[in-house]
Structure 1
Amino acid sequence: MHPQPTAAVAITPAGGGADAYNRQLGDGPVPEDLRDLFAAVQQAGRSAGSGAPRWDERLHAVATDLAAVVPEGQVLPYRAVEFALHHRGIIEPTPHLVVVWMERDNIVSLTAHVAERLGRLMQGEGYTRAAIGTARRQGKTAVVVALQSSHIETQPIPRTARTGATVPIRGRVLAPFAQPEVLVARADGTVETIKTRVNKDGSFASSIVCGPPAGEIRLEVSAVAENGASVLANFPIWCGVKPPRELRLAGARRDGVDPEMIESQLIQLINTARRRAGLPELALDRETAAVARRYSEEMARTDQVAHVSSESGAADDRLRRAGVRRGLVQENLARASSAEEAHDGLMNSPGHRANILSAQATHVGVGVAYAKDSGDLLVTELFTRVPPTVDRAAARDSIAETIRRGRALRLDAALVRLAQSNAEELAAGAPRDRVAAEMERALNEMAGKYKRLRTVILALSDTRDFATRNLPQDAATDFGVGVAQGEHRDLGRGAIFVVVLLGQRA
């Protein structure tokens, strides 16, 4: 099964929308005409072993908004669903939608049909909220069942604030999640991690300044569980401007069915975003692309989209098992109906956006597979760094300057020569213990000049990763630096070997 085309949509939800996220939670009575159908939804959850989801009034409004515009035989764009969620004050990621078209209002037939579809869908998913929306459309009834997981609670967060205002972000992540992190994508596209106080019970507190400039900022709260980090909330705040009341989207063309074509399209979208941000394009990394493709195929087979798999581990594990060594590995995962939708969703997530616009990444590998039942695209993007050839003298001077900025040390020519010689041996593949022994003999010959000598050996993928905190903080007067490039067992080709010698004069 392959993805359906994404429809053109114009959505104008009824009412003025929420003034804040989570101002009012969604508990409320189930409409009488939907009670039997919702009971079937809850029974499907219990039968699947994931528990009965509770009715969510806000999600009901979202499902009703979407039932009024969903086109028969086509997929609702991700941005339309997201727009409806935020309009109603919901911060959790996009829900799973089941869309059914009925020729006539036959609740018995509808309930049986939906129950059959949900029985497969809810296996092991653990949806905590659900709602149903309906709309009469050209002699038929469109029914939208929305299923959503929620593992976060927050105090009300305004959807709009004046430019320059401080907006508090306070909440709690729920089991099995811990270690919440708050990120923001600014109106200018930059991404930053917000300083956040985190307590043992999962509660957290932070704040963000709403611009300048005026416009939309995007917040994300992620947390960690057994299967890795997950996005628990993703939502915009409008600084100095009002949130939009309607959304109009043109339909997206149907992607080619060849996964390689879609992978190429995603790389083009990534590099277009990087060019717009003033960043160099990423080169194709065929070795990591093969690993990415295999993981997308695994996700299709297991129907699990997670950064950590019980079968293949994390991205680092998958690369290592394939014999691929990289100093930097950042992973994006997506489930979508098209390449454009996958890319838009990732760019709207501050954490994933930061990976796409990483200044350290030099290469990317993308893998795509089709989900078995829905035909959705399952996307894996691996951003890596293959260090370019460095100018050894320039790199050595840069590191020496970093050391001098942090400490009042004198560069010693003899220590520089010895450090450079040993860096070159390490880069050529000489065993580290042999190099250390040779260095110790050479340093012993300097014992009359120095009463103490220390050696620091580092392997880096970028000289910008060097920091003086890597050095011993005891007394030293002189230093020398050596830099060379070669193969490293963990960082792979082009690794940068740095040797720093620190001496305390006698």
Structure 2
Amino acid sequence: MFLGTACSDDGGAGTEQGASAATDPTADPTGDTTDDPTGDTTGGADDPAWMTPYCYTVADKKWLAAWIEREQQVLERINAARAEGADCGSMGSFGPAPALGMDVRLHCAARKHSQDMAERGFFDHVNPDGEEPFDRIEEAGYTGWAAAGENIAAGSDDPGMTVQGWLDSDGHCANLMNPQYTHTGVGFYEGTGNLTYYWTQTFGALLP
């Protein structure tokens, strides 16, 4: 399996490391994004964000049910890991962190990148047109962010193996465990690229 990670904590200039290149909402353990203390959820399959020109082609109605299920399994496993804390080697130890909520805009950006890697046969955070992770999340409507990051993986369709691969890699583990992040998006795509199965996970936190 191949991995890559990119992160930025300054609201702008991203850095890459690792293989291949590498009102704030609250979140509950189910991964549903909420924007008030009552727990009312926002987003989901009918969210208007899916109807934008950038996101429409990767909306739930265009996605295979098996792919959606794999994405949800990754979210659940990552939130379970965050609940326990983790030793991320050279990146340090991380205590328990709140669960991440699946944000429609980050979900869109993650799916777009996984599909793009599969269809154009590359594995990198920067696509052949020069588009970076932070370009994608803003194009999807996730603007005014304070911190953002991205993990990618390819070569396995197994959610457990994918998450474990990220946890076993210091930089990816630190992205997963970063307590600054409040939102995430997971995108899985099975295509004809050399690695067949492509994963992207985006992370973010909005400015107050």
Q: TM-score range by the shorter chain?
A: 0.5 to 0.7
Cα deviation digits, residues 80-130 of structure 1 (max 9, x gap): xxxxxxxxxxxxx79xxxxxxxxxxxxxxxxxxxxxxxxxxxxxxxxxxxx
Q: Is the 8 A contact 1:303 1:371 kept in 2?
A: no
TM-score normalised by the chain length of structure 1? 0.26
Q: C-alpha displacement at 1:311, in angstroms?
A: 2.1
Structure 1 residues 274, 312: closer, same or farther in 2, change over 3 A?
same
Distance in 2 separating the partners of 1:284 and 1:319: 13
The percentage of counterpart residues that share the same residue type is: 27
Of Structure 1 and Structure 2, the greater strand share is in: 1
* 1:287 paired residue number: 105
Normalising by structure 2, report the TM-score. 0.62
CA contact (8 A) 1:266 1:366 kept: yes
Contact 1:266 1:339 (C-alpha < 8 Å) held by counterparts:
yes
Aligned to 1:346: 166
Q: Could you say which residue in structure 1 is the equivalent of 2:19?
A: 231
1:302, 1:323 → 2: CA distance?
24
Instruction: Report the alpha carbon displacement of residue 373 of structure 1 after superposing the two structures with TM.
Output: 5.3
Listed one character per residue, the Cα deviations across residues 466-499 of structure 1 (whole Å, up to 9, x for unaligned) are xxxxxxxxxxxxxxxxxxxxxxxxxxxxx3xxxx
Identify the residue that residue 314 of structure 1 maps to in structure 2. 132
How far is 1:290 from its partner? 0.8
Are positions 1:377 and 2:185 aligned together?
A: no
Alignment of 1:99-498 (within 5 A): 229-231=17-19, 258-277=66-85, 278-311=96-129, 313-325=131-143, 326-337=145-156, 338-372=158-192, 376-386=196-206, 461=207, 495=208
Q: Which has the higher helix share?
A: 2
Q: Distance in 2 between matches of 1:356 and 1:375?
A: 23
Does the CA contact (< 8 Å) of 2:17 and 2:171 recur in 1? no
Query: Structure 2: which 5+ residue stretches go unaligned?
Result: 4-14, 21-63, 86-95
Length, aligned pairs only: 142
The Cα offsets for residues 132-186 of structure 1, whole Å up to 9 and x where unpaired, read as xxxxxxxxxxxxxxxxxxxxxxxxxxxxxxxxxxxxxxxxxxxxxxxxxxxxxxx
- Using the alignment, how far apart are the partners of 1:279 and 1:322 within structure 2? 26
> Does 1 or 2 have the higher relative contact order (CA < 8 Å, sep 6+)?
2
C-alpha contact 1:292 1:382 (8 A) present in aligned 2: yes
1:314: how far off? 0.7
Question: Cα RMSD (Å) of the superposition?
Answer: 2.4
After superposition, the Cα gap between the structure-2 partners of 1:312 and 1:324, relative to the gap in structure 1 and judged at 3 Å, is farther
- Work out whether residues 336 and 342 of structure 1, in 8 Å CA contact, stay in contact via their aligned partners in 2: no
Q: In the TM superposition, what is the alpha-carbon distance from 1:328 to its structure 2 partner? A: 1.2
Distance 1:309 1:375 in 2: 16
How far apart are residue 259 of structure 1 and its match? Answer: 1.1
Q: 1:303 to 1:257 in 2, by over 3 A?
A: farther
**Unpaired segments of 5 or more residues in structure 1?**
1-77, 79-92, 95-223, 233-255, 387-460, 462-494, 496-506
Check conservation: 2:120, 2:193, Cα contact below 8 A: no
1 CA distance for matches of 2:69 and 2:193? Answer: 21
Corresponding letter in the other structure for 1:305: F
- Is contact 1:229–1:307 with CA below 8 Å preserved after alignment? no
* Structure having the higher Rg: 1
Cα 1:290–1:276, aligned 2, differ >3 Å: closer, same or farther? Answer: same
